[in-house]
Amino acid sequence: MSELIHTFVARGDLAHLALFLWAAAASGALVFTLRELASASRRFDDFIRELSRFNRRASGKSFEDHD
């Protein structure tokens, strides 16, 4: 890694290196955020499904009486 940085420094491409590091960090943050959002959506869907199941049981209806 230090050899790669040395190559960039020797050629004067520090701006490109900084831009690459920023883009890599932003992409990583986006992937993390999307993964967490998908997980939260899945948990919310599970919660709604369980709440619906509870409401059906509490009202005395069976699963077949859904319609």
CA distances from 50 to 3, 60, 61 (A): 55, 15, 15
> Is the CB of residue 56 less than 8 Å from the CB of residue 66?
yes
63 inside domain? yes
Per-residue pLDDT band at 65 (split at 50, 70, 90): low
Mean pLDDT score of the chain: 86
Counted domains in the chain: 1
61 inside domain? yes
Better-predicted residue by pLDDT, 64 or 48 = 48
11 inside domain? no
At residue 53, the pLDDT reads: 95
pTM score of the predicted model: 0.60
How far is residue 36 CA from its own chain's centroid?
Answer: 4
At residue 42, the pLDDT reads: 97
9 inside domain? no
6 inside domain? no
Per-residue pLDDT band at 8 (split at 50, 70, 90): low
With a cut of 70, say whether residue 59 has pLDDT above it: yes
Contacts of residue 56, Cβ cutoff 8 Å, sequence gap at least 6: 62, 63, 65, 66
Q: What domain range is 31 assigned to?
A: 24-67
